[in-house]
Amino acid sequence: MSQFFSSRETQNSSEREQYLCSALAEFIKYAKTQCDYYREALADIDASAINSRAMLATLPVTRKADLIKLQTQRAPLAGLDAHSAKIGRLFQSPGPINEPESTTDDWWRLGSAFYAAGFRASDKVQNCLSYHLTPGGFILDSGARACGCVVIPAGPGQSEQQLDVIEGLRPEGYCGTPSFLKILLDKATASNRDISSIRKALVTGEAYLPHHREQFAQAGILALQAYATADVGLIAYESDPHEGLIVAEDIIVEIVRPGTNQLVPKGEVGEVVVTSFNRDYPLLRFATGDLSALLEGQSQCGRTNMRIKGWMGRADQTTKVKGMFVHPQQVEKVRLQHSAVSKVRLVVSRQQQQDQMLLLCEVDSEIEVEDHASELLALIATSLKNITKLNGKVQLVSARTLPDDGKVIEDIRELA
């Protein structure tokens, strides 16, 4: 049995680079012909001249943070989808941001990440990312099946039922967020449930913290991570030994200074920008909003592609809570629904190794706070849940309490 999902994973680095760069001109021409967005955005670009990373870096960046506005102007996908695209599903992630999927096999390209994490044909995999509206569950589902695995579409939550399924079906693997795997392990220990069949895991959707990795190892689970987005699919993945994340074979990754299209020096932290050769949904210099940095050298596992350090935070105020993006626009939308609130700040923390949200709300009238505090708190909490799809606490504070620093979301979680 091969150690690698594809022979491309071990090809000569210069040959890989030559192949990717030689594909740029034709692909950019295709995108300008097929996508309304690129026909306008790249109208003055000579596609035939784009044949290297240096030339690619002259193209404008399209930022994920701009998709909300762009998709409002040209629904549903801002003209980024190709006219010839065969879209089988349309998702809507928090923001809202719409994402397409073609239902061809492993369209999101997660197969190599599962394979590197030890998943093989006939393994049963309990998939605990959501299949509801957001594409996370389908992204992992297709990657596991690309390795020949049998997927149990469990989704998130309902931990007691999840333990019933694990004891009954005895899956060899888990995929989902690391925090939910921890919940399952803790609950199994507390209630003396047997989930020892799980020996491998692919985790994604949030920061993979050292204490998670240590707990999983103590439970006999080799848990490696994948870095993927709903727009691009797989960007990079971990192998054993875990030495950063190996960039996927069929994309080009650049690291730019946040807010610009300028490359940072090697090793410096910047925003991850991806060019994805997806003919259904072409993405040219797509800025993910995530921070990372390039690593020198190659992985000891034998895979030869460039590596990044992994997820190192956000270039903007958008953050991820329990695997779901929360955008500043959503927090502001909560404020606009309540006339008594003049300013808001969402503080994201981690308590008892679980993500928590606290919405601080400045109110104009102390009288209204005193007379209607409980009612107002309940109404704001409901708005927060409806808009972000996440539960959070709400605290009212007096006017001019919050810092005047432009922050709408403050993430105070430790990443290490």
pLDDT digits (tens, 9 = 90+) for 113-141: 999 999 999 999 999 999 999 999 999 99
Question: What one-letter code names the amino acid at 258?
Answer: P
- For residue 213, pLDDT over 50 is answered with yes
- For residue 406, pLDDT over 90 is answered with no
pTM as predicted:
0.85
CA dist., res. 411 & res. 329, Å (int): 16
Asked if residues 286 and 78 have their Cβ atoms less than 8 Å apart, the reply is no
* pLDDT of res. 371: 61
pLDDT in tens, 276-321: 999 999 999 999 999 999 999 999 999 999 999 998 888 888 888 9
Mean pLDDT, residues 33-41: 98
* pLDDT of res. 1: 66
- For residue 367, pLDDT over 60 is answered with no
Contacts (Cβ under 8 Å, ≥6 apart) of 374: none
Question: What one-letter code names the amino acid at 304?
Answer: T
Which pLDDT band holds residue 414 (cuts at 50, 70, 90)?
A: confident
What the chain holds in terms of domains, given with CATH numbers, is 7-316 (3.40.50.12780), 324-411 (3.30.300.30)
Mean pLDDT, residues 50-66: 96
CA dist., res. 147 & res. 112, Å (int): 8
What sections of 227-321 are H helices per DSSP? none
CA dist., res. 25 & res. 46, Å (int): 9
Arithmetic mean of pLDDT over the chain: 94
Please name which of 227, 229, 250 lies closest in space to residue 239, comparing C-alpha atoms.
227
The residue among 184 and 257 whose pLDDT is bigger is 184
CA dist., res. 391 & res. 234, Å (int): 28
- For residue 339, pLDDT over 70 is answered with yes
Element (H, E) at 299: none
Residue with tokens 């693997």: 173
Edge-to-edge strand ranges of the sheet holding 354-363: 393-398, 354-363, 341-351, 409-411
